[in-house]
Structure 1
């Protein structure tokens, strides 16, 4: 049988969500004949699998099959389409191990994620002229450099001039470092290498990383280098330490990182001050707002001996106001300010008390720099020298400028993350229901904890809502991913679950419909793998005390019975939403009155699910007797869990304390399919409503029962079951063995029938129907008369 492709009859392109999306492929045997042809190859070149089966690859691919496999890997080739026009494509040829067969991979240039993406990245790096860049292949041969790297090359040096440079910290030659990066893929960050034989007065700070293609095959390495003059051991450490600034999204931690680099690299005392806008999470306005508007506060200090003098401004203390002199304004809106002891004292007006608060004793020189980013003033950093009288030189000024620029960028990044995180949290919380609800069926309490640290808010949610016949729906779910997209996806799924639940679908069918929705969302999304999630849906009936539930990859809920025993509901876990083609199973159980159902997402268990499950069971057993309400139990459970202090994933918990409708508030009758039994139904209803003291509802209820029971006997057969339930509303249910749903229609003036359901709708506050295991149930609700 020849090769087959799976394109449609129109030759349309078939794309999946894998790394080979958009890649055309052909498999050639040892004689160069086509033995397999992909659907995307048909889309690219027009030939079907049947047409190319057994043909020589030269007939359809030209000389492609003769290209040897190489480290470069990709060639730009002109291919001929079946219709005659030329198709330009990037082609990679891979040889089979132990065989002469070859795999030919082809894709159009410039497509997202294409093989030329690495070349685009390299081209962008090489085009800039601020940092020296060199590209090497996997064999260590120089491929290309930019003008900035050529400017760093010593006169008369060859192409391999970087190889012989020795690391200042004794880490070996640059060539050895390049080979390690190429072999392991572990990047090299800001290592200083001596340049020339001038005693280390001039050096290069170099970083190196490996570049891979879209399939993960290494293509080579990229080296970045910049000149560092006047380097010493402390300055080398400063450049390496600069990479630690900004690792945290906490703006105070960023300031502390900066002071750790400034001392001892540049001086003996360092301070960082922020305006209150930064500390309170507000994005500062553009430009310098002035001292009064900025209200600066000290956030980080560091001394070389580890002891910060008590007479200086302490961390957390507001910066005392100083007269707005030209020198003060210049230091806040200008660039790096270099000052000797006399200049530093003059900046503060010569007032001894003010100087004593700002300048350490015995100061010889000071270096200050504002923290600006995108025109916004984020703060000010200062470093002082007391142990040496040496003035700050140009190298120190450049280092100070670079460190403060990196710090300002880190603060700005933290603000951007904080804004998105706060927006997502607000959106997430606004889309969740009230934390606590109370209904006939259950008392519920929900808890949502967003992920902490650098992880953005995710798509966890919980929900509890009333259903027909006094039942309650309980939902917990977790959407794949984090950020605003996950929150928006969560909102869509929560709305879909509520809408489908209003149709009285059983849990398994509801999850099937939600799974279909998720798969449609995957088709619409640019990255299908980012759409999906888990969900648990349960329905509790307080009349029969039954609970039905189904799970789409969500952990099983815990059940705490009134006697304090804790167990996990043996729900059969179905596949995650978006997988499809797998049915969901319904688990049904009868709950004792006062039972507590604890539904949760996997964030509560942590990474070790087995250990987390055992810990949850033990915590519930210890807490269930001491905390009465679901809200109190939920708060205690969250406080006790080790994963809630700084959660690495979102956590949602929904606790439901079940109630039951008293037996004396329900009445059930069964009738044969005999229209004469309608009179019996009216009589039974009249007697029961009089016993309940609901005479005001006699007329409307008898009319509703007459209409529904008559229709059931006439169109569905018997037996017909009638049930009344008295609670906050009067519920009337009529069940029959037919699966045909009733339909409300508008009757014409000449019609003799068709007005029954219209009258039912006018006499009730709500009505509807739902399928059951043996047919359907039509239900109505009437508001009780005021006492």
Structure 2
């Protein structure tokens, strides 16, 4: 029994019914410093422990003796924490006749639990946003005053600049910049940050090891300098200091600080990588979006507003594509996803639309082919629904090793072709909201347009709608981010309508007015706006001749072209234009069918068009030595800036465009060189 009492880790004592001391074991003697049990016998705990603490223990003993129920308590004494257990000793008659008192030193256990709670609390307050400065602020705020009297966070200049970082030690002369500082001093609660350089011991950066500094004098304070790193990349340091509390930093505090610094380093690295990815995505998107360049057919202005969410960048895109016959295509789309994923998807869709637009397809046919391409994107990535971030091994992978899906399923697109000669517009939509149309002085209304399913969602054909547009009217294309954004309870489409109704505003002024209404709060989704003021090409810029399709008309065509160029003041283009017109008319008469029509259009370039009723497309080829013909299109391609074919529901049109600034002397020299290069 003596061995059981004396060898155990707990301190045991017994008090009789008068709460006088009866028995103690060796552990209690070591704790109390009273080794003579006989001297304590007959004394109460109040006698051996004067003051409020002894009185409190005696009251707890009395409570156990009178109630007959045991109790446990945690007692804090100086720098120790004790787990106390009091229980009654009961006679055979069931009456309490003494009190057992057991205590155990749980100081280290409690301190460890407190450190763990502090780590969890500090960690939960760090990294709530993907922002470097805010994360640094959160680290400083979380440490003061619970853990330290002050905390300052310094980051490498290369981290703040968004430079590419490599794992490994940092040069000892690397520049650190103060980002956040918190203190319990006279300016407690104020968080200060700046851009000034900070002096940190070189070995902290070079070796990446923490440093614990203590003042030699008691109460002189202490400091801990912790490196902030993630994935082997050093990002900066955090410095914790104590001076207003008696205990300096110890080894346990160093372990705690290392865990908090590891958490903060990971959060800072996430924010840094996000900023780099966002910058790359934004640069990619900006490089793919065209300039809002006005053309003869339309005066264009555009605005792009990033979202306020964690990614801040979506897949909105637009384009203004010149087409043959002085026409122009207005395109607005919204690629699914966000960040770099959306920018990549947007780039693929925009490239596909540009390529298909070069074929001069009708809007519904263009969307049908774009939908086929989107379905191939989906098939290539092995998904059947709207894409999302995933860890599938066959998806694209970003710089941080996170897989993402670049399929276009669920993306939307609106494609509109405006003809400034006929004042007609043909539109088709793949899941995109219809544009708003405002006649001069009229009320803006949404275009009555059948909206098909999003890209990649169905194989059903799209439907186009042809409408007449008023001269001087305004057409506004936008993405759903503009629809979803609300401020003060008023939806932006209504504001857009009210702005479009003002005929005195230019497209640039309309865009500015709409953006001003969104400055109080950023949109939840990125928003894009394209405003086009419709122009017309008057009769003075167009010449049309209907031909009978007879060979003898070719000579007359040259004379018609010559007279028209003189009227337009373009005599220097007479030689090439006669050549182009005669070759195209000859081909239409020889290989096409009636009706045959010749048009000259003076736009930013001089356009020659020949239409016939046959849908067979001509092919450019190099004639053999023995061929009597076959050189006509080669001549057209040589002396014009561009040429091509577009198809109507019946027949085709061959067109060729040449710069109005071209010098006839240079063309004659080029023609001479071309003739010399041809085989005899």
Q: Which residue does 1:428 correspond to in 2?
A: 285
Q: Which residue of 1 aligns with 2:238?
A: 381
What's the CA shift for 1:504?
0.7
Q: Distance in 2 between matches of 1:202 and 1:557?
A: 75
Name the structure 2 match of 1:316.
194
In the alignment, is residue 409 of structure 1 matched against residue 266 of structure 2?
A: yes
After superposition, residues 349-388 of structure 1 pair within 5 angstroms as 364-388=221-245
**Alignment partner of 1:760: what SS?**
helix
2:154, 2:176 within 8 Å by CA — same for their partners in 1?
Answer: no
Instruction: Give the one of 293, 303, 326 matched to 1:447.
Output: 303
**Distance of 1:444 and 1:343 partners within structure 2:** 74
Paired residues for 1:110-259 under 5 Å = 229-230=110-111, 236=117, 238-259=119-140
Q: Which residue of 1 aligns with 2:98?
A: none
Q: For residue 761 of structure 1, what is the aligned residue in structure 2?
A: 637
Match of 1:467 in 2: 323
2:145 aligns with one of 257, 264, 277? 264
Structure 2 unaligned runs (5+)?
1-71, 84-107, 388-406, 664-680
Q: 1:626 to 1:250 in 2, by over 3 A?
A: farther
User: 1:512 offset after TM fit, Å?
Assistant: 0.7
Contact 1:264–1:304 under 8 Å retained in 2: no
**Structure 1 gap ranges (5+):** 1-195, 204-226, 345-361
CA contact (8 A) 2:600 2:606 kept: yes
Q: Following TM superposition, by how much is the alpha carbon of 1:578 offset from its aligned partner in structure 2, in angstroms?
A: 0.9
Aligned equivalent of 2:379 = 523
Shift of 1:507: 0.7
Seen in structure 2, the aligned counterparts of structure 1 residues 386 and 763 have a Cα distance that, compared at 3 Å, is closer
Contact 1:733/1:780 (8 A) holds in 2 = yes
Contact 1:455-1:649 at 8 Å conserved across structures: no
| Higher mean C-alpha displacement, 241-250 vs 679-688 | 679-688
Whether 2:514 is the aligned partner of 1:637: answer yes
1:534-553 mapped onto 2 (5 Å cutoff): 534-553=412-431
Q: Cα distance 1:378–1:453, how it changes in 2: closer, same or farther (>3 A)?
A: farther
Do structure 1's residue 705 and structure 2's residue 581 form an aligned pair?
yes
Q: Residues 653-692 of structure 1 correspond to what in structure 2 (within 5 A)? A: 653-678=529-554, 680-692=556-568
Alignment of 1:76-95 (within 5 A): none
Partners of 1:513 and 1:262 in 2: CA distance: 59
Does structure 2 conserve the Cα–Cα contact (< 8 Å) formed by 1:268 and 1:384?
yes
Which of the residues 446, 464, 471 maps onto 1:593? 471
Instruction: Give the structure 2 partner of residue 741 of structure 1.
Output: 617
Q: Contact (CA 8 Å) 1:566, 1:617: kept in 2 or not?
A: no
2:14 aligns with none
Q: CA deviation at 1:673?
A: 4.3
TM-score if structure 2 supplies the norm length?
A: 0.70
Change (3 A) 1:262 1:783: closer
SS at match of 2:274: helix
Deviation at 1:451, TM superposition (A): 3.9
The alpha carbon displacement at 1:575 in A equals 1.1
Candidates 479, 491, 498, aligned match of 1:621: 498
CA displacement at 1:553 relative to structure 2: 0.9
Which entry has the higher C-alpha Rg, 1 or 2?
2
Aligned-partner Cα distance in 2 for 1:298–1:768: 59
- Residue in 1 that maps onto 2:344: 488
Q: Is contact 1:767–1:781 with CA below 8 Å preserved after alignment?
A: yes
Contact 2:485 2:523 in 1 (8 A): no
1:39-96 Cα shifts (integer Å, max 9, x gaps): xxxxxxxxxxxxxxxxxxxxxxxxxxxxxxxxxxxxxxxxxxxxxxxxxxxxxxxxxx
Residue 543 of structure 1: SS of its match in structure 2?
A: coil
Q: 8 Å contact 1:476–1:601 — kept in the other structure?
A: yes
Structure 1 position 566 matched with structure 2 position 444 = yes
8 Å CA contact retained: 1:332, 1:370 = no
Determine which structure has greater relative contact order: mean sequence separation of CA pairs < 8 Å that are 6+ residues apart, divided by chain length. 2
Is the aligned partner of 1:732 residue 2:608? yes
Cα distance change on mapping 1:745 and 1:273 into 2, 3 Å: closer
1:770 aligns with one of 646, 654, 665: 646
RMSD: 3.6
Note closer, same or farther for the CA distance 1:670–1:371 as it changes in structure 2 (3 Å cut): same
The alignment partner of 2:235 has SS state of: strand
Q: How does 1:716-727 map to 2 (within 5 A)?
A: 716-727=592-603
Partner of 1:781: 657
Q: Matched residues in 1 for 2:486 and 2:162: separation?
A: 35
Cα deviations by residue, 1:678-724 (Å, 9 ceiling, x for unpaired) = 55544433433332233343444344333433443444433322222
Distance 2:161 2:601 in 1: 55
Q: Is the counterpart of residue 289 in structure 1 residue 171 in structure 2? A: yes
* Greater alpha carbon shift after TM alignment, 439-448 vs 694-703: 694-703
Superposed CA offset, 1:285-306 (max 9, x none) = 642433x532432423143887
2:175 and 2:197 in contact (8 A); partners too: no
Give the corresponding residue for 1:190.
none
Q: Equivalent residue of 1:605, what SS?
A: helix
Q: What SS class does the counterpart of residue 174 from structure 2 fall into?
A: helix
Contact 1:720 1:734 in 2 (8 A): yes
CA positional deviation for 1:544 = 1.7
Q: Residues of 2 paired with 1:769 and 1:504: CA distance?
A: 8
Classify the secondary structure of the residue corresponding to 1:604.
helix
Q: 1:495 to 1:288 in 2, by over 3 A?
A: closer
Separation of aligned partners in 2, 1:701 and 1:582: 44
User: Which residue is equivalent to 1:171?
Assistant: none
> Residue 365 of structure 1: CA displacement?
4.2
CA distance in 1, matches of 2:373, 2:204: 60
Among candidates 144, 147, 155, match of residue 274 of structure 1: 155
What residue in structure 2 maps to residue 556 of structure 1?
434
Counterparts in 2 of 1:740 and 1:331: CA distance versus 1, 3 Å: closer
Rounded to whole Å, the distance in 1 between the matches of 2:412 and 2:236 is 44
Q: 1:606 aligns with which of 484, 491, 509?
A: 484
What is the deviation of 1:250? 0.9
User: Per-residue CA shift, 1:84-141, capped at 9, x if unaligned?
Assistant: xxxxxxxxxxxxxxxxxxxxxxxxxxxxxxxxxxxxxxxxxxxxxxxxxxxxxxxxxx
- Is the 2:150–2:182 contact (alpha carbons within 8 Å) kept by the matching residues of 1? yes
- Give distance in 2, aligned partners of 1:332 and 1:681: 82
Question: 1:298, 1:673 → 2: CA distance?
Answer: 79
